């Protein structure tokens, strides 16, 4: 490599866009085919040193493929056209050996899933040092010192998180910091971050974004950031490129782009991101679900001769949901949201307190009561993982029938299946297909149909829209609101995504470390949070800029209730 | 790590106690009198009575169990009825053949399987992979005694590199090792075929993991990523199979020992069963149980060495 490591490009300031300044990365009319299918179509993009450029768009738009093309990790069958220049040299023609010398040294990459991006059997210090050693940039001892330095730089100082730790001993946010440390250990000129915070909680996300921003500014790296989250994009990026179906449909300076939004697709994404479902007015009826002083403890793993330390997942939680109400439950991962949901579903016992539906306990005499159980249904996050791929859709959505003492058969059953499919916007004929034939949004519709088929009173949505693209998410939220109107359903909506909860609920519960720290009407809690934890959650969540025209604010839309 | 090892050790002790009880109950308490069973239906009543006294069958059951266990703990396995020799001595002699044979075969199978599996995984779908996988199919399908006969035909009868059978004893180590070579190869080939397939599929799974992509993004070549990040992670399922194979090799070599006239444990137990020598059967079975459980213990320790997540948790 001809370029010296760690040079700070002293002469350059932020004059990236006046044409004369040297580009760090130039993607010039890049096209990509894999097995004859066009993946990227004529992509042109530039990144200057110290600049953050975001690639945004829905899944399948080609964002990640652009990143993989840049770092030279495309699948073997890929055919590229165009040019991809780093510091003036075209990367597309380089041999594999030259690319290996480039990766990690000139270009660093951060991936989405911190839980699986690290080698589970290797110490984190060694994994960071490996970046240095594989490029023979330093002797072994110096590499170890540098690895510890870099780990400290990303917020993992040796006195708190020693480099001798293994990945499983770290939290998700800490693991992402290790991944970042590996990527920046040799001070690459270009950093690529592919959905770096999508799998993280909001407060962790805010910290990681801050870290990335600081690194880019201090080290004058160029950052190509890939994310579907427009709010994150608007807070991070200097410039944005919006991708759809392998093309860049619009790109420009962040504020100008959000102000103008020339391409209709950009506008659609923006509208879908701030979508609020049109909820029917909540009726003040009798309580349906009562959760009374509920505590769920897990026994700890017993050491050989030591008493078992336990874990209190849910600690003395009480709340009520009235019939017809839509209640949100927010909190970060590990706060006890899902444990609480399982307890309400009667999937596990509680150690103290009681959960009743219409006055009847969901769990009595050591087992869930089926007559209560069938009045509650659940929709999970991963629509694909929650279906048996070998059953037809008709059989999948008829599954809850086993909760009934006298399940419908023959024509009645067929009719119920057709009705449930129609209710979620699908065709009765879809009952004959298998689940793999459907898109993510359709699968989630099928999951909702499955929940509705036995006409429950309470439906629990556990991160039910978190994995969906924004436009699909908006449609599903509308569907959920419609169904609530049509069937008078009561919802418990569990999510770590505050903006989703805000758009679909009347009331919200904020949960932290097994306890509910704040509850109240959704708008009131979001506008005037009382508890400091709620405040910190809201402050950490990235927000969208004002919509074009600037009239209505993000907080006070008329249709939101 | 220490508490993990102690826990595994406790499990080992409990398993041994339970196994000894089961073996004792099955052999001694099962319907039928061991003495008359050992002597056959034509035995005279006074011979049976004499054998009963000799075996201590007139004592209460728990006393016999304790005596059996106590004896074994001191290395006294009883006396073989048919051979009129201490079982411990007979077993030790046989073990000196069977244990080296098992280790030899296991080493060979590992030496063949690891490179073959890794090679096939690295060239998945290409000619090299298809070749290796075809060979492993053959290795699994063809019985090892047939391999053994082919080896004898080729290397002993035609080329005269090895002798066709027998065992000269460890006084001449090289000759002993040479005598064990053909049997070890015959035992190792089918095992290697299984092991190579496990290695390949395990490694292919690992190569799809995110951390392999991370390694590539750091600048490691495909080969470096495979060796430094793939192989160790792929080892856990491979270790499981290795542990099972060792137990099998120790006792499962009966046919191969017959083909090569080796005085091993497999032949001993085979002869003891045909001659109804229950004391020998009982002791050898207990010994094999001990070996299997110990190997499982070692496999558990190897897991923990390979995967740090196991050290902390259990």
DSSP of B136-184, one letter per residue? Answer: HHHHHHS-HHHHHHHHIIIIIIIS-SS-SS----TTSHHHHHHHHHHHH
Any CB–CB contact under 8 A between A120 and chain B? yes
Is the CB of residue A489 less than 8 Å from the CB of residue A483? yes
Query: How far, in Å, CA of A474 to CA of A40, rounded?
Result: 26
Q: Chain B residue with minimal CA distance to A166?
A: B308
CA distances from B50 to A215, B30, B54, B260 (A): 90, 20, 6, 38
Judged by CB atoms closer than 8 Å, whether chains meet at A103 and B219 is answered as yes
Chain A residues with CB inside 8 Å of B221's CB?
A: 96-97, 100
Chain A residues with CB inside 8 Å of B224's CB?
A: 134
Q: How far is A114 from chain B (nearest CA, A)?
A: 9
Q: Which domains does chain A have, with CATH numbers?
A: 50-74+101-273 (3.40.50.300), 288-299+310-540 (3.40.50.300)
Q: Chain A residue with minimal CA distance to B211?
A: A117
pLDDT of residue A178: 94
What are the structure tokens assigned to A477, written together?
A: 């939220």
Query: How far, in Å, CA of A36 to CA of B52, rounded?
Result: 83
Chain A residues with CB inside 8 Å of B312's CB?
A: 168-169
Chain A residues with CB inside 8 Å of B125's CB?
A: none
Q: How far is A376 from chain B (nearest CA, A)?
A: 35
Q: How far is A99 from chain B (nearest CA, A)?
A: 8
Q: How far is B15 from chain A (nearest CA, A)?
A: 17
Residue in the structure block whose two tokens are 């629509």: A383
Chain B residues with CB inside 8 Å of A75's CB?
A: none
What b/e readout covers B168-204, taking b as 16+ CB neighbours within 10 angstroms?
eeeeeeeebeebbbbbbbbbbbbbbbbbbbbbbebbb
Any CB–CB contact under 8 A between B46 and chain A? no
What are the residue ranges in chain B where pLDDT is below 50? Answer: 314
Judged by CB atoms closer than 8 Å, whether chains meet at A113 and B211 is answered as no
Residue of B211, B215, B217 for testing the chain A interface, max A β-carbons within 10 Å: B217
pLDDT of residue B156: 83
Domain extent listing, chain B: 32-73, 92-266
Any CB–CB contact under 8 A between B54 and chain A? no
The tens-digit pLDDT sequence of chain A (561 residues) is: 344 444 344 434 444 444 445 789 999 999 999 998 999 999 999 999 999 999 999 888 999 999 999 999 998 888 999 999 998 889 988 899 999 999 999 999 998 888 889 999 999 999 999 999 999 888 999 999 999 999 999 999 999 999 999 998 888 889 999 999 999 999 999 999 999 988 788 888 999 999 999 999 998 999 999 998 899 999 999 999 999 999 999 999 999 998 888 899 999 999 888 888 888 776 667 889 999 999 988 876 555 555 556 778 899 999 999 988 999 999 888 888 888 998 998 888 888 888 999 888 888 777 888 888 889 999 987 767 778 889 999 999 998 888 888 888 888 999 999 999 998 989 999 999 998 888 888 898 999 999 989 889 999 999 888 888 888 889 989 999 998 888 889 999 999 888 889 889 999 999 998 999 999 999 999 999 999 999 999 999 888 887 765 444 444 343 333
Q: Chain A residue with minimal CA distance to B220?
A: A100
Chain B residues with CB inside 8 Å of A101's CB?
A: 219
Is the CB of residue A92 less than 8 Å from the CB of residue A82? yes
Q: Which residues, in sequence order, are CB contacts of A470 under 8 Å at separation 6+?
A: A58, A228, A230, A269, A272, A273, A275
**First vs last C-alpha separation in chain B:** 9
Judged by CB atoms closer than 8 Å, whether chains meet at A104 and B218 is answered as yes
Q: What is the DSSP string of A177-200?
A: HHHHHHHHTT--SEEEEESTTTTS
What are the structure tokens assigned to A170, written together?
A: 């770290």
What are the structure tokens assigned to B55, written together?
A: 């075996």
- Tell me the angle at which helices B231-251 and B278-306 cross, rounded to the nearest 10 degrees: 170
Q: Chain B residue with minimal CA distance to A111?
A: B214
Give helix then strand counts, H and E, for chain A.
18, 22
Domain B92-266 fold: MetI-like fold (1.10.3720)
Q: How far is B125 from chain A (nearest CA, A)?
A: 13
Judged by CB atoms closer than 8 Å, whether chains meet at B217 and A104 is answered as yes
Residue of B1, B208, B211 for testing the chain A interface, max A β-carbons within 10 Å: B211
Strand A247-253, strand A239-244: pairing:
antiparallel
Q: If you count residue pairs, one on A and one on B, with CB atoms under 8 Å apart, how many are there?
A: 82
Any CB–CB contact under 8 A between B111 and chain A? no
Judged by CB atoms closer than 8 Å, whether chains meet at B232 and A121 is answered as yes
Any CB–CB contact under 8 A between B210 and chain A? yes
Q: How far is A101 from chain B (nearest CA, A)?
A: 6
What are the structure tokens assigned to B83, written together?
A: 């051979």
Query: Quick check: helix, strand or coil at residue A33?
Result: strand
pLDDT of residue A409: 85
Judged by CB atoms closer than 8 Å, whether chains meet at B217 and A71 is answered as yes
Stretch 6-65 of chain A: residues touching chain B, C-beta under 8 Å? none
Chain B residues with CB inside 8 Å of A118's CB?
A: 211, 214
Could you say which of A103, A116, A169 has the minimum Cβ distance to residue B218? Answer: A103
Chain A residues with CB inside 8 Å of B219's CB?
A: 100-105, 131, 134-135
Query: How far, in Å, CA of B198 to CA of B196, rounded?
Result: 5
Any CB–CB contact under 8 A between B308 and chain A? yes
Query: How far, in Å, CA of A58 to CA of A22, rounded?
Result: 31
Any CB–CB contact under 8 A between B129 and chain A? no
Judged by CB atoms closer than 8 Å, whether chains meet at B217 and A108 is answered as yes
């Amino acid at each position: 490599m001809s370029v010296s490591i760690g040079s700070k490009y002293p002469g350059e300031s932020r004059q990236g866009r006046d044409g004369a300044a040297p580009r760090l990365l130039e993607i010039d009319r890049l096209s990509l085919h894999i097995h004859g299918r066009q993946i990227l179509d004529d992509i042109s993009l530039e990144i200057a040193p110290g600049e953050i450029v975001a690639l945004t768009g829905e899944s399948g738009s080609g964002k990640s493929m652009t990143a993989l093309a840049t770092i030279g990790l495309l699948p073997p069958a890929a055919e590229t056209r165009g040019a991809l220049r780093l510091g003036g040299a075209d990367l597309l023609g380089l041999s594999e050996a030259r690319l290996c010398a480039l990766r990690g040294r000139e270009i660093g990459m951060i991936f989405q899933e911190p839980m699986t991006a690290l080698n589970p059997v290797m110490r984190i210090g060694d994994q960071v040092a490996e970046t240095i050693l594989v490029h023979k940039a330093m002797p072994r001892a110096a590499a170890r010192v540098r690895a510890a330095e870099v780990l400290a730089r990303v917020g993992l100082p040796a006195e708190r998180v020693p480099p001798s730790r293994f990945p499983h001993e770290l939290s998700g946010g800490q693991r992402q910091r290790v991944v970042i440390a590996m990527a920046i250990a040799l001070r690459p000129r270009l950093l690529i971050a592919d959905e770096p915070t999508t799998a993280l909680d909001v407060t962790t996300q805010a910290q990681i974004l801050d870290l990335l921003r600081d690194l880019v500014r201090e080290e004058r790296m160029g950052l190509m950031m890939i994310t579907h989250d427009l709010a994150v994009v608007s807070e991070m990026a200097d410039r944005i490129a919006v991708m759809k179906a392998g093309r860049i449909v619009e790109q420009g300076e962040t504020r100008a782009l959000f102000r103008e939004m020339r391409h209709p697709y950009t506008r659609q994404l923006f509208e879908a991101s701030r979508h609020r479902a049109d909820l029917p007015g909540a009726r003040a009826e009798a309580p349906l679900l009562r959760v009374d002083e509920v505590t769920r403890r897990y026994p700890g793993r017993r050491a050989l001769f030591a008493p078992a330390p336990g874990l209190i997942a849910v600690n003395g939680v009480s709340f009520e949901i009235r019939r017809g109400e839509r209640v949100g439950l927010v909190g970060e991962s590990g706060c006890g949201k899902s444990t609480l949901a399982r307890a309400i579903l009667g999937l596990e016992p509680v150690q103290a307190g009681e959960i009743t539906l219409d006055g009847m306990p969901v769990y009595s005499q050591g087992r869930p009561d089926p007559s209560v159980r069938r009045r509650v249904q659940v929709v999970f996050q991963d629509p694909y993982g929650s279906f048996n791929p070998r059953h037809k859709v008709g059989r999948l959505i008829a599954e809850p029938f086993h909760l009934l003492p006298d399940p419908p058969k023959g024509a009645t059953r067929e009719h119920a299946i057709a009705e449930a499919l129609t209710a979620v916007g699908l065709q009765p004929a879809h009952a004959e297909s298998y689940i793999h034939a459907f898109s993510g949004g359709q699968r989630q519709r099928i999951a909702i149909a499955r929940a509705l088929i036995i006409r429950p009173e309470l439906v629990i949505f556990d991160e039910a829209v978190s994995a969906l693209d924004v436009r699909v998410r908006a449609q599903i939220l509308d569907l959920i609101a419609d169904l609530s109107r049509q069937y008078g359903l009561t919802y418990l909506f569990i999510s770590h995504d505050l903006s989703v909860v805000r758009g679909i609920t009347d009331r919200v519960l904020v949960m932290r470390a097994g306890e509910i720290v704040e509850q109240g009407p959704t708008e009131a809690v979001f506008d005037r949070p009382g508890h400091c934890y709620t405040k910190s959650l809201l402050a950490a969540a990235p927000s969208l800029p004002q919509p074009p025209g600037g009239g209505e604010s993000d907080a006070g839309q008329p249709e939101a209730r | 790590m220490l508490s993990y090892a102690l826990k595994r050790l406790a499990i080992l002790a409990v398993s041994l106690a339970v196994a000894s009880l089961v073996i004792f109950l099955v052999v001694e308490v099962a319907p039928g009198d061991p003495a008359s069973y050992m002597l056959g239906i034509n035995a005279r009543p006074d011979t049976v009575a004499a054998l009963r006294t000799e075996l201590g069958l007139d004592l209460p059951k728990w006393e016999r169990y304790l005596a059996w266990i106590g004896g074994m703990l001191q290395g006294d396995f009883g006396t073989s009825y048919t051979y009129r020799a201490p079982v411990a001595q007979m077993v030790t002699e046989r073990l000196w053949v069977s244990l080296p044979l098992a280790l030899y075969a296991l080493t060979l199978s590992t030496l063949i399987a690891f490179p073959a599996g890794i090679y096939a995984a690295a060239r998945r779908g290409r000619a090299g992979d298809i070749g290796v996988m075809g060979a492993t199919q053959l290795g699994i399908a063809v019985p090892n005694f047939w391999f053994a006969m082919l080896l004898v035909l080729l290397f002993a009868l035609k080329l005269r590199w090895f002798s066709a059978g027998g065992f000269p004893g460890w006084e001449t180590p090289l000759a002993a090792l040479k005598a064990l070579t053909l049997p070890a190869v015959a035992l190792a080939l089918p095992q290697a075929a299984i092991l190579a397939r496990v290695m390949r599929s395990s490694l292919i799974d690992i190569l799809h993991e995110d951390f392999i992509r991370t390694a590539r993004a750091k600048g490691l070549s495909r080969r470096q990523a495979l060796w430094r990040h793939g192989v160790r992670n792929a080892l856990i399922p491979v270790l499981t199979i290795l542990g099972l194979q060792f137990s099998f090799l120790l006792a499962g070599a009966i046919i191969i020992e017959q083909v090569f006239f080796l005085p091993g444990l497999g032949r001993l137990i085979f002869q003891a069963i045909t001659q109804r020598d229950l004391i020998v059967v009982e002791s050898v079975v207990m010994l094999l149980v001990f070996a299997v459980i110990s190997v499982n213990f070692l496999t558990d320790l190897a897991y923990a060495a390979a995967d740090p997540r196991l050290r902390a948790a259990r």
